[in-house]
Structure formats: structure tokens, C-alpha cells
């Protein structure tokens, strides 16, 4: 919560400086570890971003992104042999809330088409709900958890100018979250609207 408040306090002054806000939506696919790739479906992502230009062709983005992944109970059902014991499976949703900032580099400035790449660093809050397996005789619970990871995000994208105020954007992200000897990675495809303030 403190990090979120600090992000808002840093970002709010930028709104008065003629900068850019982007509203991005898309899908995120689990990559690693293998259990995450196997037992969780592609998730939905929303990612508002504020962008502050510092010099020509270079800006500082401030981004919050939220992704929710649905547990693939059918896959787990088959692999665990739960069907042999008439188990019903529920729960298992996993979500991530990320806050990050970094640098964005525009490769072409004076054009309707503006390709770019960016690198960001921040923190990701992972939350996993418990998985419940129930039948007539007993219940098995696989505990959920909440953990904070360091976030490294690299992106490539393209802005397409519609007029002086609005642009469309398309972006691909690679996200790597790390904590000691743990790593979780995802790929994300986003599109959205960019508004010049």
C-alpha cells in the first residue's frame, strides 16, 4: 500500500505537465515455472500508464498492471487422477499486481508510426488462492500464498497517431519476477489508447 501511495504521489504532478496517459488491455500467458505454464490459463491484463518526456525520444513511464489467471482445473483433474476419486476441484485463481518505472526509447519521433522499446524495474505482488478437492468422504486443500517479487519488464511497441490528442498502441512485454531462488515469467500482448494531456 505504501508503494502504491508513493507511485500516485510521484505520478500526479506529471498530469499538469502536458504528458501522456495510456490505458492498456490484453492477455498474459504463463511461461515459467512449468507448473505455472501447465496448470494456469492465459490471463487478462489491464495496465494504466503515465509517461513523462525527459528529452527528445526518451521518456520515463510509470505503470501499474493487474493480471488474473484462472486455474486450469480440467488439466489438473486429469493429471492428478482426481477423476478416479470423484473429486470436485475449486479455487486456484492467481493474480499479480505490478508497479514499475524505467525508461522508454522512441525510435522514430516525427511520424504517424512511432515504434519504441522500454525497460522497467519494480515490484510484483503475487496472490494465489487455495485449491480445494472435495468428494463425499473428505477434502484436500492445497494452500494458497501471497508473495512479493522483484520485477524486470522489457517491452517493444508501436504507437499509431490518430490525431493531435489520441493514438492507438500495440505492445508486447516479457516479465520476469524473481525472489531468491524463485522465478516466474510471463509474456503479455497489449493494445490500448494513448492520450496526450
Query: How large is the C-alpha radius of gyration of the chain?
Result: 20
Strands 145-161 and 139-142: unpaired
Indicate the pTM of the whole model: 0.84
With 80 as the cut, is the pLDDT of residue 62 above it? yes
Report percent pLDDT > 90 for the chain. 57
**Rounded mean pLDDT of 2-19?**
54
Domain count, the chain: 1
C-alpha span between 172 and 26 (Å, rounded): 10
- pLDDT score, position 15: 47
- pLDDT score, position 122: 96
Q: Is residue 82 part of a domain?
A: no
Residue spans of alpha helices (H) in 49-162: 73-80
Q: Is residue 37 part of a domain?
A: yes
- What are the distances in angstroms from CA 62 to CA 14, 99, 186? 10, 8, 20
Q: Is residue 36 part of a domain?
A: yes
Q: Which domain holds residue 45?
A: 2-69+97-125+147-196
With 90 as the cut, is the pLDDT of residue 86 above it? no
- What are the distances in angstroms from CA 180 to CA 12, 70, 106, 145, 177? 33, 26, 34, 16, 10
| Number of residues that this document lists for the chain | 197
Q: How confident is the model at residue 189 (pLDDT cuts 50, 70, 90)?
A: very high
- What are the distances in angstroms from CA 122 to CA 45, 62, 159, 175? 17, 10, 24, 11
- pLDDT score, position 124: 97
Residue 3: φ, ψ to 5°: -65, -40
Q: How confident is the model at residue 16 (pLDDT cuts 50, 70, 90)?
A: very low
C-alpha span between 111 and 161 (Å, rounded): 8
If one counts every other C-beta atom within 10 angstroms of the C-beta of residue 17, the result is 9
- pLDDT score, position 144: 78
CATH of residue 15's domain is 2.40.160.20
Q: Is residue 137 part of a domain?
A: no
Residue pLDDT, tens place only, 25-41: 999 999 999 888 888 99
Q: Is residue 10 part of a domain?
A: yes
Residue pLDDT, tens place only, 87-125: 677 778 899 999 999 999 999 877 899 999 999 999 999
Q: Which residue is listed with cell 487422477? A: 81
Q: What angle do CA 8, 24, 67 make, to 5 degrees?
A: 80
**Rounded mean pLDDT of 56-69?**
94
Q: How confident is the model at residue 71 (pLDDT cuts 50, 70, 90)?
A: confident
Q: Which residue has the higher pLDDT, 129 or 170?
A: 170
10 Å CB burial of residue 190 (0-12, 13-18, 19+) is buried
C-alpha cell at 110: 516525427
Average predicted confidence (pLDDT) for the chain: 86
Q: Is residue 81 part of a domain?
A: no
Amino acid at each position: 500500500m505504501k508503494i502504491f501511495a508513493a507511485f500516485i504521489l510521484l505520478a500526479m504532478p506529471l498530469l499538469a505537465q502536458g504528458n501522456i496517459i495510456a490505458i492498456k488491455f490484453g492477455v498474459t500467458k504463463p511461461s515459467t515455472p512449468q507448473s505455472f505454464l501447465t496448470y494456469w490459463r492465459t490471463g487478462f491484463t489491464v495496465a494504466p500508464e503515465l509517461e513523462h518526456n525527459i528529452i527528445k525520444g526518451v521518456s520515463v513511464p510509470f505503470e501499474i498492471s493487474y493480471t488474473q489467471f484462472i486455474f486450469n482445473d480440467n488439466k489438473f483433474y486429469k493429471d492428478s487422477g482426481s477423476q478416479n476419486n470423484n473429486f470436485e476441484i475449486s479455487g486456484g485463481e492467481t493474480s499479480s499486481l505490478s508497479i514499475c518505472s524505467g525508461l522508454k526509447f522512441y525510435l522514430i519521433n516525427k511520424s504517424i508510426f512511432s515504434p519504441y522499446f522500454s525497460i522497467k524495474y519494480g515490484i510484483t505482488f503475487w496472490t494465489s488462492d487455495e485449491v480445494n478437492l472435495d468428494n463425499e468422504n473428505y477434502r484436500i486443500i492445497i494452500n494458497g500464498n501471497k508473495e512479493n517479487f522483484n520485477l524486470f519488464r522489457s517491452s517493444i511497441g508501436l504507437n499509431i497517431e490518430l490525431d493531435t490528442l489520441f493514438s492507438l498502441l500495440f505492445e508486447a512485454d516479457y516479465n520476469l519476477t524473481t525472489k531468491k531462488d524463485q522465478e516466474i515469467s510471463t509474456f503479455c500482448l497489449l493494445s490500448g489508447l494513448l492520450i496526450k494531456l
